[in-house]
């Protein structure tokens, strides 16, 4: 983020994006310490970071309440929505739509780029999982 000359709020949010999930720090504390803009970016990135977990079910054609091969019960779904390419495109659209601030997407992409650059340090199973998610979503 620094190399791309992003604004200070985006750089701060990039450094803090995992703190709420990985530490006892709360969103309220981030807002108090770093300001509302930084907090909103961190909150948005935290929401987006959960997307790949949700996508596994979408790619398999299931939802958290269904099993593989079972219809989702969504009346808006059609046979074309069952195609992996269609589900992936819907997921990409949801990814962008969930971000109220474009800087959230930038922080998320920077985090994924960092993960891909450091892939060699991860166990092989995690390497495969991250690489697959990156190809499918990003």
Residues labelled as active-site residues: 21-22
d(CA 17, CA 39): 9
d(CA 42, CA 30): 9
What letter would DSSP give residue 99? -
List helix spans (H) across the chain: 8-16, 19-22, 27-34, 36-49, 51-59, 84-97, 102-117, 124-137
d(CA 101, CA 70): 36
């Amino acid at each position: 983020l620094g190399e791309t000359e992003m604004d200070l709020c985006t750089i701060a949010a990039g450094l803090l994006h995992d703190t709420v999930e990985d530490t006892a720090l709360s969103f309220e504390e981030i807002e108090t310490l770093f300001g509302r803009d930084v907090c909103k970016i961190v909150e948005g990135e935290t929401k987006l970071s959960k997307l790949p977990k949700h996508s596994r079910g979408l790619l398999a054609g299931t939802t958290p309440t269904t099993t593989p091969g079972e219809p989702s019960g969504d009346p808006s779904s059609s046979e074309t929505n069952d195609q992996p390419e269609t589900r992936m495109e819907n997921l990409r659209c949801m990814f962008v739509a969930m971000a109220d601030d474009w800087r959230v997407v930038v922080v998320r992409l920077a985090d994924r780029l960092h993960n891909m650059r450091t892939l060699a340090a991860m166990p092989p199973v995690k390497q495969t999982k991250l690489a697959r998610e990156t190809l499918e979503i990003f």
